[in-house]
Amino acid sequence: MSVQSPTLGRCGRVYIVFRREFRSYFATPLAAVFLVIFLFLAGLFTFNIGSLYERGQADLRPFFQFVPWLFLLILPAISMRLWAEERRTGTIELLVTLPFALSDLVLGKFFAAWAFAVVAILLTIPFWFTLAWLGDPDHGALCTGYLATILLAGFMLSIGALISAWTKNQVIAFVLSVAVSFIILLLGYPAALDVVRAFAPSGVIESLASTSALTHFDALMRGVVDLRDVLYFVLGMAVFLWLNTAVIDWKKSD
């Protein structure tokens, strides 16, 4: 375990790692390319495929319905490099010798990735302005929808960060992150639950639905803020980040 710096508190150490990682996203044109792709696909799903104008309803339901599946391909591309690249180049050995705890490194890297995802999400705010110009939307429901989107992004990035810590290969990290996130989302998808409902009791169906990120995301998306839904994402992130720290500690010499 790394020796902690006696001159910096936990927040200071995490912030140093966060600042280094967050700046690295914008050190190359890759960040701009990622943001353009995300906004293009978000607009396509919302206005074209989701038929926002044709629906005649002042809400962003098409955007919120498509965004989990958009995240499924976009977010693993962010998280796959968090630790896999460090392990491939050997810089992880330098990181763990810094006067920071491993948890500081894990949190700093995660918050940087999450902040970058939040930047992308907030760039869709013009969708909200467009809706307000065209009609009279429920702004409270839109706020909870964006809250759900940000929490879902953090939850999926924590999964990707954990998987990235397991391998030196970014492609493998990407594929596994997509697969695991897809399964967690699919557990709450109505079509998947209908298949299980054919041979499983209702208690099993409810248990599967409660473990799905999509179930809790949909609940928040409807404008109802239930503490259980928020805690699902917060505690989920905490568990995956704790596992991330344990994996880094275990595999740091590989």
Q: What is the pLDDT of residues 51-99, one digit of tens each?
A: 666 666 667 888 888 899 999 989 999 998 888 877 777 777 677 677 7
Structural contact between residues 192 and 110, judged by C-beta atoms closer than 8 angstroms: no
pTM of the model: 0.87
Task: Measure the CA–CA gap between 213 and 235, rounded to whole angstroms.
Answer: 12
Would you say residue 254 has pLDDT above 70?
A: no
pLDDT tens profile 104-138: 999 999 999 999 999 999 999 988 888 778 777 77
pLDDT tens profile 6-24: 456 778 889 988 998 899 8
Average pLDDT, the chain: 83
pLDDT tens profile 175-218: 999 999 998 888 766 666 666 666 667 666 667 767 888 888 98
90: left (phi over 0), alpha (psi -120 to 50) or beta: left
Looking at per-residue confidence, does 55 or 246 come out higher?
246
Would you say residue 50 has pLDDT above 70?
A: no
